[in-house]
Amino acid sequence: MFAQAAFGNEGRVFLGLSAESHSGNVAQMPTAFDKAFRQVKDLVAIFKANETFYLSPQFSEAQTRKDFIDKLFIALGWDVNHQSLSNEAIAFAN
């Protein structure tokens, strides 16, 4: 691992950390897109592994929302559980 510093226009120092792999290529930290893509890919794999059950009448619409739909929107960055604002705060702001 090594540190690299760069100076911005206003004299600010920006510090970045990198890790090198054995092949000499610099490994990059996963981006928000990479994290979301992995989470959605995992949801798809879970669904495909149990598709027959998830499409059956035994798997309810409410369970579908909890197990897949909410998790999809959370992976995409939505505040599904209103952790940053409550419904009261939203109503008050309007």
Number of domains observed in the structure of the chain = 1
pLDDT of residue 90: 63
Please report which confidence band the pLDDT of residue 2 belongs to, taking 50, 70 and 90 as the band edges: very low
In a domain, 66, yes or no: yes
pLDDT single digits (tens) 67-94: 999 999 999 999 888 777 666 666 666 6
pLDDT single digits (tens) 12-63: 544 444 444 455 566 788 899 999 999 999 999 999 999 999 999 999 999 9
In a domain, 39, yes or no: yes
In a domain, 7, yes or no: yes
pLDDT of residue 30: 84
Q: Would you say 68 and 47 are in contact if contact means Cβ atoms under 8 Å apart?
A: yes
Residue 14: CB partners within 8 Å, gap ≥ 6? 5, 6, 7, 8
Q: Would you say 84 and 77 are in contact if contact means Cβ atoms under 8 Å apart?
A: no
Q: Whose CA is closest to 16, among 25, 33, 32, 28?
A: 28
In a domain, 92, yes or no: no
32: containing domain: 2-75
In a domain, 86, yes or no: no
